[in-house]
Structure 1
Amino acid sequence: DSWQRCEALKLVFAWALLQVSRPGLSSHLPRLLPLSLLLNDHYKPENCMLGVRCLHHIVQNTPAADLRQFNRAEVLYQAVFKHLHTSEAAVIQLALACLLDLLLVFEKPPSLLGPSQSRRKPCRHDDVLRMVLTNMEVEHKVDLRRIYASALLLYIERMGVAVCRHLQRLERVVLGYLEVSDPPEEISRLKMLEVLQKMTREAWPRMERRVDVLLRCLLRLMVDVSSDSRLSDSVRQQLMDQSSASIHLLDTCSYGRVQHLLLQVDSGCCSPQLLRYLATATTG
């Protein structure tokens, strides 16, 4: 408990730990892990953040075999995963980044599994993604929504085609985040448009049945963006470009069905700029 009586001790410990890299870190794990876990479990957010940083550094600079020895990896996983139940944005951001690297200690990324291997067998990647989606569905704080939206793209890339297991919830999250404005940078919306594009590429055969709902949401987004005076020209351009790219992908995976649906759009409700985007969205 001496580090709690002298705040400088934890900073000295963290600094010293972060100076040690692979391969020298592995032999010191018995002395470095306990205090890192104590910091990680502390009730003060600043100590939690310091602890997660230390644990993440250990994960990045220790061979996977050494982490799996004595069940260390499982202890680390449980210690970091529990932070997903908190509401501290900075802690969650660090925890999501740490988990992304820690999962590789347990298993290969689902996106890299060969055809002969079972892609449909649930794994820890599914557990983390499921927890992230659960939090995203009920989250209303702007800073947390931005953090989750940024992290979601990385986890979908890691999942690959196995993301099909989560398509229904992913669709709800994407629709919910695209409907809510996030001015002035619109970080959440831009990230979710990237998520939608990645989801469409990975789950190509499953996306055709979702075209109607997603296209309706994208059109509403483009109408809102084209008339929102709070947005800068650069942000508006990014949103329109990303929305057009998403529509183009949906049109491709539905074999041109989006083109027929766009013919039903009332041109009287759209600005000339929006009509130009819609005219080019399905032609690439």
Structure 2
Amino acid sequence: MSPPNDVNNCSSSMDQIIKDIHSGYVPEVPFDENKWDVRDKKLSDHTKIAQSILNGLNDQLTFLINNKSYLTVSKHEPLLSSCLYLCGEHWQSDLMWSNAECRLLANLCLKQLCGLIKVTNIEELFTSMDMSKVFIGLYSSKLDKDDWKKYPAAVQCFMWMLKCLKMPHLNSLLYILMPLPLKMFDDYRDSNIIIALNAFEHIIENTPSAELSMSGHDKILMNSLESKIRGSEYQLVPPIIKCLLSLISKMQLKHVTGKNDLEWTKFDDVLYILIPRMELESKNEPIKEFASVLPFILKSVGFSSIRWSQRLIPLFADYIMYKHSKLVTIQAIKVFILQTWPRKATHWKTLLTILVKALYDEDNLNSLPPNDENITAIVDCIRTLVAAVPEATISLNKLKNENEFQTKLILIEALNSI
């Protein structure tokens, strides 16, 4: 793709420019797992082609800029869309069909494109275009039905364009933006589910709650995310829950509605789904993943987490004993104390026992040095408990004088600092 000799010639050769751009698109690949090696080779082999086309496009756009051949959106929409599709496929450098050079060239092309349209950035360019046509074009050519599995680069392009859309410009495009992430979320591959979750999070963040509700997408997302918590592998549970909490926070609006703090909410539904999985788990890695989201959930549930005390406290006692879940469990206990202290604390003795036992274990590990971060977190949590329940001070003073503890220097030092 070489620049024309003059501006008029360039204007008359737009169709050829678009044709050249199309040749740089990442081609269709098989999604049959038996042909995964063929797929990967076809994608990696395209990198040099894409780099050459992007380099030529950059030269072409530079020529237009230097000759002040400014473009209008309405007249040059096919060219603009083609450029967006090509550059959008290379917005990341760690893709099988891309590299750092491709990403650099794609960013240069986008910068040149903005200059030709006389806008300051890509977000402003998007607001000047009819993005519904751009997305529909991508859907109709590559992302319709199950075709998205054959075009991983087109999926990346979709994600890039989606991330460039912000409130309020994203609202009117919900009907176009939601189908692909929903299809990907139902796929069996973890990588596709993660991409879908990233899309959901951006859409939730940049769409007013009223718009989500009126379109019905709040219920669709809620049902999809809740059902996925029940059936997904443990490593997917944290990102799914974080996305669900974000959606509920958007739709619940407790601070606006003034609902009773003890009223059952969708946050309680999350605990209702997750706690049984946590109670039945005994392996280290799943416990680590489940524990990682517990502080976030309890903070969202708020004062109502007191209704879950009978099930949460045994979980605290269990999960705090696992090396990889200890710190987040301590953090979860602190959140629980902060959220529930206004109600008469009937479980403070049990919580204090759990924390002191965890502190004791830090001083009792065979051949392993104590974890300073864990000790600091435990001490901080005990301080919070004592501040919330002054009666705990008496029990704490008694513990300091226990003969069994006198040989545990770290424990006694930590208790004396409280």
Q: Which residue is 1:248 aligned to?
A: 383
Secondary structure of the corresponding residue to residue 43 of structure 1: coil
Structure 2, unaligned runs of 5 or more: 1-145
Q: Which residue is 2:399 aligned to?
A: 262
Shift of residue 31, structure 1, vs aligned partner: 1.0
Task: Flag the structure with more relative contact order, 1 or 2, with Cα contacts below 8 A and sequence separation at least 6.
Answer: 1
Shift of residue 113, structure 1, vs aligned partner: 7.1
Contact 1:113/1:119, CA 8 A, preserved across alignment: no
What TM-score, normalized to structure 1?
0.85
Change (3 A) 1:134 1:124: same
Shift of residue 66, structure 1, vs aligned partner: 0.8
Deviations 1:54-89 (A, max 9, x none): 112111111111100132100011112222113434
Between the aligned partners of 1:13 and 1:78, the Cα distance in structure 2 is 24
Q: Which residue is 1:180 aligned to?
A: 322
Are 1:53 and 2:198 counterparts? yes
Contact 1:208/1:254, CA 8 A, preserved across alignment: no
1:169 pairs with one of 311, 322, 326: 311
Between the aligned partners of 1:113 and 1:257, the Cα distance in structure 2 is 41
AA matched with 1:237: D
Q: Which residue is 2:31 aligned to?
A: none
Q: Which residue is 1:139 aligned to?
A: 281
Shift of residue 3, structure 1, vs aligned partner: 1.2
Aligned residues: 271
Q: Which residue is 1:153 aligned to?
A: 295
Shift of residue 266, structure 1, vs aligned partner: 2.5
Contact 2:405/2:411, CA 8 A, preserved across alignment: no
Between the aligned partners of 1:262 and 1:64, the Cα distance in structure 2 is 51
Q: Which residue is 2:261 aligned to?
A: 119
Q: Which residue is 2:352 aligned to?
A: 215
Change (3 A) 1:181 1:104: closer
Are 1:64 and 2:209 counterparts? yes
Contact 2:284/2:322, CA 8 A, preserved across alignment: no
Contact 2:171/2:211, CA 8 A, preserved across alignment: yes
CA RMSD for the aligned pairs? 2.4
Q: Percent identity?
A: 23
Shift of residue 229, structure 1, vs aligned partner: 5.2
Contact 2:228/2:240, CA 8 A, preserved across alignment: yes
- 1:35-46 equivalences under 5 Å are 35-46=180-191
AA matched with 1:159: V
Q: Which residue is 1:185 aligned to?
A: none
Structure 1, unaligned runs of 5 or more: 183-187
AA matched with 1:245: D
Q: Which residue is 1:191 aligned to?
A: 328
- 1:7-26 equivalences under 5 Å are 7-26=152-171
Between the aligned partners of 2:340 and 2:284, the Cα distance in structure 1 is 28
Moved more, 271-280 or 255-264: 255-264
